[in-house]
Amino acid sequence: MLGVIGGSGFYSFFGDDARSVRLDTPYGAPSAPITMGTVGEHEVAFLPRHGVNHEFSPHSVPYRANMWALRALGVRRIFGPCAVGSLTPQYGPGATVVPDQLVDRTTGRPDTYFDSGGIHVGFADPYCPSLRAAASGLPGVVDGGTMVVIQGPRFSTRAESQWFASQGFTLINMTGYPEAVLARELEMCYAAIALVTDLDAGIDANSAVRAVDVFAEFQRNLVPFRKLVHEAIENLDDERTCTHCLAHDGVQLPFELP
């Protein structure tokens, strides 16, 4: 089974014929009931990251519950569509980017299932190459970029934005971590698909980022963006063949994965 975790403004994925599943986890309830449907030949589970009514801010999303619930349902491959700001004029609003690197600038978020047991997880390449290829090969999609994940819920100052850009980072986001590393700990393939909604404050000196503008830009692009995610799913093989994301090969875990 495949999973899709929708970001800001991306609260549904199927028609009225989808079925809904409610479940609990050792980490509490996920952000919302999970809806199940099909895309092409694939069975897909969809979860809105922020809840169906955007109840959860980026720092309060129940990331561990979300990822655990999807794995418990049988999901092993996940696309994470998300809204991002751009740290380069090269990618303006409406651009779609499949990042290949991530920088964590969050603080205090529960970001592991292994609070005991001395488990270490390789994360040099944080995204699944098979999923990235399925999305980045679509027309008009930018292949590669570094996404810096900030704590939120505030946007960056101009100085912070310029600092990130000077480091060579190309995208800025509030939810890409710890989602990606939790997927790796659960041995699920994961790739972000980023829709640019704005130029960050330090890049566009004549304006500042406002939430209302971000949501409006996302809504303007939602229909083609949702279609792109459908196409990325249809590009995938029926069976998972990736071994890159099997992080615990040869390692004795302190508990059994769901």
100 is catalytic: no
Any binding-site annotation on 49? yes
Catalytic residue, candidates 16, 104, 111, 200: 200
Any binding-site annotation on 22? no
Any binding-site annotation on 199? yes
198 is catalytic: yes
Distances (CA, A) of 62 to 9, 155, 187: 18, 21, 19
Catalytic residue, candidates 17, 100, 198, 249: 198
Any binding-site annotation on 50? yes
**241-245, Cβ contacts within 8 angstroms, sequence gap of 24 or more:** 241/130, 242/77, 242/128, 242/129, 242/130, 242/131, 242/189, 244/125, 244/128, 244/129, 244/130, 244/189, 245/128, 245/183, 245/184, 245/187, 245/188, 245/189, 245/190
CA proximity to 146, closest of 126, 128, 163: 126
**Dist CA 75 CA 98 (whole Å):** 21
Binding-site residue set for phosphate: 8, 49-50, 175
Residue ranges of the annotated binding site for substrate are 174, 198-200
Pick out the residues of the known binding site. 8, 49-50, 174-175, 198-200
Q: Which residues are catalytic?
A: 198, 200
